A and B are shown apart, each in its own frame.
Chain A
Amino acid sequence: MSKLPHYREGLRAVTGSGEYIDDIPTPPGTLYMAIYRSPYAHARILKVDLSGVLEHGGIAYGPDELAKVIPNPFPLAVDAPIKYYPFARDRARFVGEPIAVVLADDPYRAIDLLDYVQVDFEPLKPVLTLDDALRGDILVHEELKSNIAMYRHMRFGPVDKAFSEAPIVIKREFYYQKHNAMPLETYGVLAHYVNGELNVWANTQGPLLITYFVTRALGLPTSSLRLFSPRDIGGSFGSKYSLYPYITLAAAASILSGKPVKWVESRTEHLVGSNSGGVRKGVVEVAATRDGLIQGFRFRFYEDVGAYPRPPDPGVLFRVHGNMNGAYDVRVIEVENYVVVTNKLPTGLNRAYGGPPFYFMLEVAVNELARELGIDPLELRVKNLIRDFPRKIGDEYFYETITGGLYPRQDYERVVRAIEPEYRRWLEERKRNPNIGVGIAVLVEPAGTNLGYTDLAIEPNKRKYPHSGSGSYVTISIDMSGYIRVFVNGTNEGLGHETTLAEVIASEFGVDPSIVTVENRVDTTRVWALSDGSYSSRFAPIVVSAAILAARQLREKLTRLAMVALGTERVGFENGQFYDINNPSRRIDIRRLASSINWDPGSLPEGSDASLSTTVFYQPPTVKAPEGDRINSSATYAIQAQLAVIELDPATYDIRVRKYVIAHDSGRVLKREFVDGQLMGGLMHGLALTLYEELMYDDQGNPVTTSLDIYESPTLAEAIGMDVELMHFETPTKHLVSGAHGVGEGVMMGVPAAIVNALASIIGRAVTDLPLRPHKIMRAMER
C-alpha cells in the first residue's frame, strides 16, 4: 500500500484520538453546571427562589450571587446605554437568556436539578420583528429610548449626481434570515479559580480579545486569566467566539463555589441560546447606464442583532466596508446602517461574517440589473470589473476602493471568464429543459480582519482610540535533537493548520516536515496578541506570513552559528545543510548544528547569540486604523466567480444542485487539499443557509427551531449527485509574505446570490427572501 498522506489532524480524526473540550480531564471535585434559562422572550424577573435546588443537594446561584462576582457588563462596540451581562439581572430579554446556574457532582443530576429553580416572572410584550422594533412602542432596553442601537449614514463619491443622472436605477428589497453555522461540537468550558488565578479551558476560537471581555466582566486583571483551548475544536465557523458569556458564567460559578466547574452545552441550548447571524433587511439601488455600466450603489441595511448588540457586532455590517463595491469599479456608494435590537438570541460571528447577506443583496441586485436591461449577466459583470490597480504600496499594486479598501492586483476577468464555458453549456441545456436554472455570482473575498472596522459603529468625532488589530505571533525554536518546534496561539477547528505550518516551515528550512512539530492552540501563559486566534480566514495571509518570517529569522541565527561551526564567514544553505561556500564539502546539518548548540552553548565565542528561538509578530502592511469613515477592513481581497446550475422539481418546488463551479485566485496555494476542503465546506454551508436553515420564532418569541429536524440541516444524502468543479488560479500576492489570500469564506458569500439568480432564470423573478423554502417558490411562480 502507498504511503499515507501527511495530514496530522486527519490522522487524529481517523484514529479517534482528537482532544476536544469534553475530553479535557477534570480535576478532582469538579462540579457540573446546568443553566436555567428564561422561558420568556421579555419579562421582568420578580423573584428567584433556589431553595429547592439546595434541598435536593445541589448548589445554585441566581442573579444576586452572580452579580457579586460579575460586577461589570461586557464592553460594547456601539455607543449606546445598553448593559450586557452574561445573565439576566432584573429583566430577561430573550428566551434562553441565562438567569441562574445549578451545580452538581454529576452532569445528569445537574440537569435534573433545574426542575427545582423557581422564578416568578412578569411577562412583557416582546419585540420580535424589525418592523415592531422600528415602531418602538415597546422597548427592549428602556435606557436606549428606542430600539435602534446604532445608526450610521455614510456617503462616498458624488451620490446625488450619480443617482439623479443615471438613465436607469433599479431597486430591490431583500430579507436574509437568522441562522447559525452550527458546529457539530457544542460549546464547553472548564473553569477553575484558585489562588487568584482563573484557569479556563474552553473551545474558543479567539480572537484573544475575549480575554479582555471576560476579565472586564469579572473585574479581574487580564493577567489572572490563564485561558487554554483543547488541541482540537469540533468546528466553530465563528460561533465559538461568542463563548465569552459562558466562560464568564462558569468562572463565576467556580469563584463562588471554590470548585472546578464544567459545562458542556446541549444541542438544544446551542440552537436556542448561543449565537447566530442576524436577520437583515436590505434595500439596494443600482444606478447604471443603459448599456450596463454601473454608476453607483445605494444600500440601506437593517440588522437585527437580537437582545443585545454583542461584540463584535455590529461588525457584521462593517466587515465588508472596504469592499462594498464588490469586484466592480464603482466609486459612488451610499450606505445607511441601522442596528436594531429585538427580544431574540443575540448575534455574533458566523462563517463569512457579514459577507453572505451583503453579497446576496449586491449580486442579486446586479443580476437583476442585467435581466432588466436584457444584457447577459456574465457580460454585464465583466464590463464592470476592476481592471486597473494603480496604487503602489511596497512591491504590490492596489485598487483603492472609495470606502478605503486596498485590493491587490489580480486578473479579475480571467477568473470570471473561467466559468464561462460551463455557463454557456448549461444555458444551452436550459433551452432543452426549462427546469434547469443557471446563475452566477462574482465577488472579492476579504480575508484577515482589521479589528478596527468595529470603530465605524461610532461617529468619527466620538472615537476615543485608534484600532487596527490584525496581526499574529509565531514562535519557532529548535530542540536538542534538532526538531523544529512551532507554537501558534491559534485554534484548530479542522483547518489543517498544523499540517500546513509543518510543510511551510519545513520547506523554509529544506527539511522533511516530519521533524517539525506544531502546537496550535490557545495558551495565554505564552506570547499572544489580542488579534490572535482563528477567524476571518486569516491563517494563510497572516499566520503563515508570521511563520515564514520567524523561520527566516531563525535561519539567520543559525547561519551565524554555522559560521562559527564551520569557521568561515561565507556560509551557504541548501536542503537543510549549511556549507562553506569556499569549500562546499565542509557542511553541517541543521539538526546537528542545533543539537551541538543546545548541548554545548559554552563553546561559542563570547558575544555569540546562542538563542535557537524566535518570535515574530506580523501585522499585515496595509491594515491601519480607520480615517474618518474610510477603512481597509481586511488585510487582503481575492477574486472569485461562482456558477450554480440547479434543477427545480416541478412537483415539489424543491431545488437540487446539479453542478457548481467555483473559480478563484487565492494567491499562493499552501496545500491544495485544504483549499479544496474550504471551498467545498463553504459551498455546503452556503447551500444550507440558502435552501434550508433558519432559526425561527413564534409570535411570543419562543424559539421554534429547537431540533435538527426543524433546522433542516443537510446531511450526506443532500450532497450525493452534486457535481462540484473547482478552478484554482494562483497569483501570489506580493504584499503578504505568504503570498496567500484567504479561502474559508468566499464561497459561502456567493452561494445565496448564485442560487437565487439561477432560480430567477427559471421563474423569471428573483425570490429575495431567504431561505428558499419550496412554498415560497410555489407562491412566487403563482404571482
Chain B
Amino acid sequence: MSMAYSLGIPRGFRYVRASTVNEALSLLNEYGGDAKVLAGGMSLMPMLKLRMTEVKYLIDILGINDLRYVKVEGNYLRIGALMTHGDVAMNKLVNEHAKILSESAWHIADIQVRNLGTIGGSLAHADPAANYYPALIALDAEVVIRGVGTERGIKVSELYKGPYITDLKQNEVITEVRIPLSGLRGVYEFFRRGGSSFPSVIIAVTYQEGDGVITDSRIVIGAVYPEPVLVSGHLNGLGIKEVGTRVSDIVNSIFSSIDTKPLEDTHAPSDYRVRVARNLLTKALMDIANGSVQHLRTPTKEELIRWEFRDGVEYVGDLVRVRVNVNGQWIEDLVEPRLLLLDFLRRHGFREVRRGCDEGKCGACTVLVDGRAVKSCMVPVVRVSGHSVTTIRGLSRGMELHPIQRAFLEEYAMQCGYCTHGFMMVTHDYLTNIDPTVNDDILKLSVKNICRCTGYMNIIKAIKRAARYMSGSS
C-alpha cells in the first residue's frame, strides 16, 4: 500500500497538442487508453496533482478555436464544446435562450475556473455534482460527439452513465452542445455548503405553458443521486396556480417514484440531501405558481474568451522548450511537461506568486494569463508557452502603485500577506472583465479566494475602493 500525502505535483506525462478536432481524434486513436484529453483542465489537473489518476499522454485541445462559438441555427442554440464556463455564464445569446444554463455556469467555482474550464470538458468529466447536467437535461439538450469519421448526436440525459462515466468512447470527443429552442422556461436552484465545496443539491425545472396550463415540463434533480434524475411531463396538464396548491402532493409523488439510493458525503448525509432537494423543488414550484421566479441579474457580453496555441511543442529529450512573456519580458526554459506555471514563475524569481493548496482552490497562486485570472498551479507552463503572464509587478509602474494595490493598502486588506497577491490579481480580472460596479451578488459568485487572517471584510472594502479608483470616481 503506498499512500503519499506530499501532493500537489502531478506525475510525469507527455504533453501533445491538437489544433483541430481531427488531429485530436487521430491522437486519441494512436495512443488508445494511454491518453486523456485536456480541455480547460479544471477537473483533470486537480486529479493529476492529487495523484488520483495518472496519464501517459495529455492531448491539449484548448487551442481548437473552431470549437468556441455560440449561435442560433436551425432552431437550436449551438454552443461549441470549448466555450468556457465564463462565456456560458455571460454570453448574451445563452442568457436570452437558456437562462438557467447561464445560471448554472455562474455557480461553477470561481472566476479563475470559469476562465479556463469548458462546457464540453465538464460534461465529459461527468462529476455527479456537476452544475451543467441538471440544467441541460431540463432544457432537453443534446451533444454532438465526433469520432474518427463518425458524428452522432445524443441527449445529454443519455450521455451521463454514472459518476465519472459517460457514453463517450475512448476515441471520441464532444464538439457541440445544442439546446432546442422550444420555448422551455426554467428555474435553477442550487445549494452548496461552504464556499469551496462542491454542490450538494441542484434543482432545475423547465416548463411551457399555454393559457395558464402547463403543456410540457421537465424536472431534474442533480447532485443528490448518483445520476441526475429527470422527471418528465409530471406537471403537464396542471394549471399554473394548481402547481402551487398541490405542491406537496407533486413533490411527494416525485420523490416516492425515485428508488435510487441518494449520495452521501461529508457535506451532506443522504436523508438531509433528499430533504433539501424536496424543499428546493417545493420552492421552485411555488415560484413558478406565484410567478415569482427570480433569475440572477448578471452582466452579459458577446465576445468569447479565446485560448489559442502560440508556440509549437518542441521536445529536447524528455523536456519541452517553453517561452513565456512575464510582465513584458520573455523567459525561456527547458522544462518537464508537468512543470506547473506556478513553479516556473517562482523558479524564475516571481516569488510574489504563492502556493496555498494542492487542489487549485485557494487562489493564492492567481496570475493573469493574457489578461485573465488563472490559478497558476492548475496549468502546466507548457500550455501557456508563447502567451503573456502578468503578476502584480507587471501592473505597478515602478514605485507607483496600481489602484488595486493602493486600495488594498488603504483598506488594510491584508494581514499575513500570503493571499494578497492572488486576491489583487483576481480583483483585476473581476473589475476589468466581469463587473466594474461590484454588485454583491456577482462578487459572491465570482471571487472565492481564501484568506485566513482578515475575515474578508477589509478585502471586500478594498475591491470596492479599487472599483472606484479604476472607474475614475475616487
Contact = CB atoms under 8 A, between A and B. Distances in A.
A585 B277 CA distance: 82
Interface in A1-33: 1, 4-5, 7, 9-18, 20, 22-23
Contacts of A519: none
Of A233, A673, A714, A722, which is in contact with the most chain B CB atoms at under 10 Å from its CB?
A714
A684 interface: yes
Contacts of A651: 191, 276, 279-280, 282-283
Contacts of B455: 677, 679-685, 719, 724
B405 A15 contact: yes
B373 to A, nearest CB: 13
8 contacts: A14-B406, A35-B6, A39-B2, A95-B3, A108-B336, A234-B354, A681-B452, A718-B456
A335 interface: no
B451 A716 contact: yes
Given A683-B455, A774-B193, 5 more contacts: A10-B409, A121-B1, A651-B282, A716-B449, A722-B457
A716 B448 contact: yes
Contacts of B8: 266-268
A233 B283 CA distance: 47
A720 B444 contact: yes
A778 B275 CA distance: 9
Interface string B192-204: 0111111001000
A342 to B, nearest CB: 19
Nearest to A703: B5
Interface string B1-28: 1111111110110000000000000000
A267 B356 contact: yes
Interface in B405-424: 405-406, 408-410, 412, 414-421, 423-424
A39 B1 contact: yes
B443 interface: yes
Contacts of A650: 279
A107 B6 CA distance: 10
B255 to A, nearest CB: 15
Contacts of B234: none
A709 B361 contact: yes
Contact of A775 (B268, B339, B444, B459): B268
A88 B352 CA distance: 37
A18 B196 contact: no
Contacts of B451: 184, 716
Interface string A36-67: 11010000000000000000000000000000
Of B343, B424, B453, which is in contact with the most chain A CB atoms at under 10 Å from its CB?
B453
Contacts of A111: 4, 6-7, 9
A742 interface: no
Contact of B410 (A5, A15, A237, A492): A5
Contacts of A709: 196-198, 359, 361
A234 B454 CA distance: 12
B269 interface: yes
Contacts, number: 298
Chain A contact patch, size range = 35 or more
Interface string B446-473: 0111111111111110000000000000
Interface of B: 1-9, 11-12, 50, 110, 191, 193-198, 201, 266-269, 271-272, 275-276, 279-280, 282-283, 336, 338-339, 343, 346, 351-359, 361-362, 364, 391-393, 396, 401, 405-406, 408-410, 412, 414-421, 423-424, 440, 443-445, 447-460, 474
Contacts of A774: 193, 268, 272, 276
A20 B356 contact: no
Nearest to A264: B355
A182 interface: yes
B364 A184 contact: yes
A710 B201 CA distance: 16
B3 A14 contact: no
Contacts of A9: 414-415, 417
A34 interface: yes
A712 B196 CA distance: 6
A719 B412 contact: no
A267 B7 CA distance: 8
A34 B346 CA distance: 19
Contact of A719 (B110, B358, B460): B460
Of A15, A710, A716, A774, which is in contact with the most chain B CB atoms at under 10 Å from its CB?
A716
* Leading 6 A-B pairs by shortest Cβ distance: A16-B352, A712-B194, A13-B417, A715-B195, A494-B416, A494-B415
Contacts of B453: 235, 493-494, 677, 681
B460 A720 contact: yes
A185 B193 contact: no
A181 B405 contact: no
A692 B193 contact: yes
B4 A13 contact: no
Of A1, A112, A268, which is in contact with the most chain B CB atoms at under 10 Å from its CB?
A268
A707 interface: yes
B471 to A, nearest CB: 15
A583 to B, nearest CB: 44
A267 B358 contact: yes
A713 interface: yes
Nearest to B279: A651
B421 A16 contact: yes
B266 A710 contact: yes
A508 B417 CA distance: 29
Given A96-B5, A184-B452, A14 B457 contact: no
A4 B452 contact: no
Nearest to A37: B5
Given A5-B409, A111-B6, A14 B401 contact: yes
B443 A720 contact: yes
Of B110, B358, B457, which is in contact with the most chain A CB atoms at under 10 Å from its CB?
B457
Contacts of B354: 20, 22, 185, 234
Contacts of A11: 409
Interface in A203-248: 232-235, 237
Contacts of B197: 709-710, 712
Nearest to A777: B272
Nearest to A674: B412
Nearest to B446: A717
Interface in A157-194: 181-186
Given A651-B283, A709-B361, A22 B346 contact: yes
B326 to A, nearest CB: 13
Interface string A702-743: 001111111111111111111010000000000000000000
A259 B357 CA distance: 28
A20 B351 CA distance: 9
A20 B6 CA distance: 20
A277 to B, nearest CB: 15
Given A15-B405, A183-B416, A709-B361, A692 B279 contact: no
A266 B198 contact: no
B196 A16 contact: no
Contacts of A496: 415
Contacts of B393: 15-16
Contacts of A117: 2
B410 A4 contact: yes
A690 to B, nearest CB: 12
A495 interface: yes
Contacts of A114: 2, 4, 6
A182 B421 CA distance: 19
Contact of A15 (B392, B445, B460): B392
B362 A13 contact: no
